[in-house]
Copies of this chain bind each other. A is one copy, B any other.
């Protein structure tokens, strides 16, 4: 078992990473008599709910669960309210613990519920997708969507523990494993060149779900993210770098409607757009951009815009990004592989030109 600590002063918490941890009662910070509400969805519940419930009941906890409909389109205030209703029906108080068992959507909604229920209850994350394991389970960003924008409503709220059982990836659709690898590659590209090289060496093992390589990879990603978050919990500075490809990617997701492209797929294409723009600005070399593209392709990820989306469709969505300040676009771009920066006020014509270069032509 590997362990990464997220250092946030009084809210320091550990991330445990290993095979079979769901059944390991030593990693749960719970004791007999604790009241637990597991938030999950029917797909994940069918595989893992009884395993987690059994483990917690052996500890002596009272365990209830609430299942949200599966999918990004249900990451809403209505789903949030399902959790509140379940907690109130069980008379759960401020001493309750919410456990998020599932992917990023479950983690985001359950985390925001934990931040909000009676103004804050304990929260444990058990991410079951690669994307959630390397990204959304670290750093305390929680949110639901609004019909006018993604992740517009939420809180910064830290879990007390994150439990990552890499065996859960065996039941994850391959397409979702690959989508998770988009965020993995992102970490190498923005902050860690040696890790980028490691990925070039081991990407095939990761795609094939080699357990040892997966654990090393997840621990490295969590460590990178944990370091960034510890420096900048509420995203005033450095933390924005983690959003490489996300401003483009959110535009893709919003334009296609949630649930068509996976988040990681949109981030992959978006990262490529950021790389191409970086190259056009004279920062990234053509060879470096090509290495990023090759790595994304080996992980079976898209590197161009969806064929139903025009280059002109991007900017209106991008201007609604949370990083926009005083009406000016702020993008995460690359100086080189392993070195990202925040670009303010990038010329919109250049942005459009980069998107064009990443658009499928017949």
- One digit per residue, 1 when the CB lies within 8 angstroms of any chain B CB and 0 when it does not, for chain A 28-64 equals 0000010000000000000000000000000000000
Q: Assuming the A-B contacts A88-B146, A146-B88, are A119 and B95 also in contact, with contact meaning beta carbons closer than 8 angstroms in the complex?
A: no
Q: How far is the CB of A261 from chain B (nearest CB, A)?
A: 22
Report if A1 contacts B (CB, 8 A): no
- One digit per residue, 1 when the CB lies within 8 angstroms of any chain B CB and 0 when it does not, for chain A 134-168 equals 00000001010010110011111000000000000
Report if A311 contacts B (CB, 8 A): no
Report the Cα distance A347→B235, complex, angstroms: 49
Choose from B95, B148, B322 the contact partner of A326 (Cβ within 8 Å).
B95
Choose from B91, B319, B325 the contact partner of A94 (Cβ within 8 Å).
B325
Known pairs A89-B148, A117-B152, A119-B141; list 5 more (Cβ under 8 Å): A33-B326, A84-B152, A116-B153, A118-B154, A119-B143
A154–B77 CB distance below 8 A: no
Choose from B146, B148, B155, B322 the contact partner of A115 (Cβ within 8 Å).
B155
Report if A234 contacts B (CB, 8 A): yes
Copies in the complex: 2
Q: Chain B: which residue is nearest A77 at the CB level?
A: B77
Complex interface: chain B residues within 8 A of A319 (CB): 91
Q: List 20 A-B contacts (CB under 8 A).
A: A77-B80, A81-B146, A84-B152, A88-B146, A88-B148, A91-B319, A93-B324, A93-B325, A94-B323, A115-B155, A116-B153, A116-B154, A117-B152, A118-B152, A118-B322, A119-B141, A119-B143, A119-B156, A120-B234, A155-B155
Which residues of A are at the interface with B, using a C-beta cutoff of 8 A?
33, 77, 80-81, 84-85, 88-89, 91, 93-95, 115-120, 141, 143, 146, 148-149, 152-156, 234-235, 319-320, 322-326
Complex interface: chain B residues within 8 A of A143 (CB): 119
Choose from B81, B146, B148 the contact partner of A77 (Cβ within 8 Å).
B81
Complex interface: chain B residues within 8 A of A115 (CB): 155
Q: Assuming the A-B contacts A77-B81, A85-B146, A148-B85, are A155 and B91 also in contact, with contact meaning beta carbons closer than 8 angstroms in the complex?
A: no
Q: How far is the CB of A229 from chain B (nearest CB, A)?
A: 13
Report the Cα distance A325→B33, complex, angstroms: 12
Complex interface: chain B residues within 8 A of A118 (CB): 152, 154, 322
Complex interface: chain B residues within 8 A of A154 (CB): 116, 118-119
Report the Cα distance A319→B92, complex, angstroms: 10
Q: How far is the CB of A240 from chain B (nearest CB, A)?
A: 11
B84–A153 CB distance below 8 A: yes
B94–A146 CB distance below 8 A: no
Q: Chain B: which residue is nearest A316 at the CB level?
A: B91
Choose from B91, B117, B152 the contact partner of A320 (Cβ within 8 Å).
B91
Choose from B120, B146, B148, B325 the contact partner of A155 (Cβ within 8 Å).
B120
Report the Cα distance A24→B320, complex, angstroms: 33
Complex interface: chain B residues within 8 A of A324 (CB): 93
Q: Chain B: which residue is nearest A325 at the CB level?
A: B95
